[in-house]
């Protein structure tokens, strides 16, 4: 901003340099001194010529006076200055100091005023990047406070529920979706969201109430994608493999053949066991050993006040896909730092295994309550998306506290 106003000051000063000096009288006729001098020399030369003609008798006194008047008028027209006596100089321009002062003050003030009205003062300062001191958690907290005073705002409850889902605060998401459900009633989208939050809050258990909500959602809209997706997992947990396959196949029919979603669905169908012979349960060669080696460390600033008996979960979930963990290892904080291998033997559901996905995100969470669901005060950290079956170990640092 300082540099901008410095440039502006220089430009105003240059403008005043052209305006103020003539008003102060400092710009004399000397600005055209060469031109005026030329006219005066010519005037005097012609006047001397008239005097010679008068002395020789070629001009009468009246003719001399008339010719002299004509020369004077021409000089006045050329220079704006009446002829002076012999050796005289030109008349200085009139000085107007008060006008000069007024102009000197008015020009900068008028410039600033016009810029404020017509310009973009906010463009002087570059936009400041969003501060890391105002994370999404604060925005969600403000929304939660607002909903206490607006309990009839169904859209606000939906937004709050989805925000809590993104933050993996499933119990609060259930409360928000339940409030929205009281206002809106049954609908395939809301029932699916509520069922998902309830299932994840209960450790990915779609049996009971979550499963019933999904069945109701499919009654309302048999082709609703999220209800089909989650309803298939609920069917698998109930042992209804054929129903799960039909639902996944319904989703697959609406996907591009070469899309990543289609690959995931084909893998789920192939691994469902619905079309396999009863005795064919052996995994493919090398499948059981395919996994990820994970190194987990805890940031020093978060280790205070930990007894070492807290539960530590190390898990992998699909980089693009359902939030349900594909493999989970349970340890204790006293084991840190540690190295653990995640593989298909640690799958929480037989149809959702690590080897079914190409890329996963690996996480580690210290649970203060012992629950697999993230809660306020838990400590956690995550990796970037990594390739399943890669040769290099995945490093995960626990550096965050769940708000």
The pLDDT tens digits for 88-121 are 444 445 556 666 666 666 666 676 676 666 665 5
Calpha distance 241→372 (Å, rounded): 26
Please tell me which residue, 197 or 44, carries the higher pLDDT value: 197
Give the pLDDT band of residue 271 (cuts 50, 70, 90). confident
Is the pLDDT at 72 greater than 90? The verdict is no
pLDDT (tens digit, 9 = 90+) per residue, 364-376? 999 988 777 778 8
pLDDT exceeds cutoff 50 at 287: no
pLDDT band, very low/low/confident/very high, at 278 (cuts 50, 70, 90): very low
Is the pLDDT reported for residue 130 higher than 60? no
CB contact set of 170 (below 8 Å; sequence gap of 6+): 164, 197, 198, 200, 201, 373, 374
Distance in angstroms (rounded) separating the CA atoms of residues 378 and 135: 17
The larger pLDDT score, comparing residue 265 to residue 105, is at 265
Neighbours of 214 (CB within 10 A): 30
C-alpha–C-alpha distance, residues 81 and 75, integer Å: 7
Q: What is the predicted pLDDT for the residue at 282?
A: 40
- Chain Cα centroid distance, residue 45: 80
Extract the tokens encoding 358: 């190409």
Over its C-alpha atoms, the chain yields an Rg (Å, rounded) of 45
Specify the pLDDT at position 276: 46
**Nearest-angstrom CA–CA distance, 325 and 123:** 48
- The predicted pLDDT at position 29 comes to 45
Q: Would you say the C-alpha torsion 64, 70, 71, 76 has a positive or negative sign?
A: positive
Instruction: Judge whether 383 and 396 are in contact, CB under 8 Å.
Output: yes
Q: How confident is the model at residue 138 (pLDDT cuts 50, 70, 90)?
A: confident
- Run of H or E including 278: none
Could you report the per-residue pLDDT of 204-262, keeping only the tens digit for each?
A: 888 889 999 999 999 999 999 999 999 998 888 888 888 989 998 999 888 888 888 88
pLDDT band, very low/low/confident/very high, at 79 (cuts 50, 70, 90): low
Distance CA 176, CA 358 (A): 34
Q: According to the model, what pLDDT value does residue 155 have?
A: 93
Residue 202 has pLDDT above 50, yes or no: yes
- Write down the mean pLDDT value for the chain: 78
| pLDDT of 81 over the 60 cut | no
What does the pLDDT read at residue 281? 41
Per-residue pLDDT tens over the stretch 331-373 = 999 989 889 988 887 876 666 788 888 889 999 999 988 777 7
Mean pLDDT of 50-79: 71
For 374-389, what is each residue's pLDDT tens digit? Answer: 788 899 999 999 988 7
Residue 174 CA to its chain's centroid (Å): 29
**Furthest-apart CA pair in the chain: how many Å?**
148
Global model pTM greater than 0.85: no
Quote the CA–CA distance of 244 and 242 in Å, as a whole number.
5
């Amino acid at each position: 901003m300082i540099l901008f106003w410095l440039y502006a000051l220089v430009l105003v000063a240059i403008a005043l340099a052209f305006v103020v000096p003539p008003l102060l009288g400092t710009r004399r006729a000397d600005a055209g001194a060469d031109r005026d001098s030329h006219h005066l020399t010519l005037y005097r030369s012609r006047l001397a010529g008239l005097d010679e003609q008068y002395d020789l008798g070629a001009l009468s006194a009246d003719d001399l006076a008339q010719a002299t008047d004509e020369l004077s008028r021409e000089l006045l027209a050329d220079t704006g200055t009446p002829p002076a006596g012999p050796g005289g100089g030109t008349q200085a321009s009139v000085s107007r100091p008060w006008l000069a002062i007024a102009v000197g003050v008015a020009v900068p003030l008028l410039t600033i005023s016009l810029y404020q009205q017509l310009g973009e003062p906010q463009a002087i300062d570059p936009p400041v990047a969003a501060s890391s001191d105002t994370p999404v958690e604060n925005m969600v907290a403000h929304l939660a406070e607002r909903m206490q005073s607006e309990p009839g705002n169904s859209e606000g409850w939906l937004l709050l529920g989805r925000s809590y889902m993104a933050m993996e605060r499933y119990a609060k998401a259930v409360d928000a979706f339940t409030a929205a459900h009281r206002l809106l009633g049954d609908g395939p989208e809301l029932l699916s969201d509520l069922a998902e939050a309830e299932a994840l809050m209960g450790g990915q258990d779609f049996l009971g109430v979550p499963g019933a909500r999904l069945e109701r959602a499919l009654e309302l809209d048999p082709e609703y994608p999220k209800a089909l997706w989650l309803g298939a997992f609920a069917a698998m947990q109930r042992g209804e493999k054929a129903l799960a396959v039909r639902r996944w196949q319904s989703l697959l029919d609406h996907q591009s053949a070469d899309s990543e979603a289609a690959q995931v669905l084909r893998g789920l169908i192939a691994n469902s066991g619905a079309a396999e012979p009863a005795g064919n349960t052996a995994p493919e060669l090398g499948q059981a050993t395919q996994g990820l080696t994970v190194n987990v460390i805890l940031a020093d600033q978060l280790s205070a006040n930990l007894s070492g008996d807290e539960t530590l979960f190390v898990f992998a979930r699909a980089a693009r896909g359902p939030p349900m963990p594909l493999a989970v290892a349970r340890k204790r904080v006293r084991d840190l730092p540690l190295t653990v291998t995640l593989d298909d033997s640690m799958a929480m559901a037989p149809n959702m295994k690590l080897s079914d996905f190409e890329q996963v995100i690996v996480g580690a969470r210290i649970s203060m309550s012992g629950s697999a669901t993230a809660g306020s005060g838990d400590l956690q950290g995550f990796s970037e998306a990594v390739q399943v079956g890669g040769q290099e170990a995945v490093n995960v640092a626990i550096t965050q506290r769940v708000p």
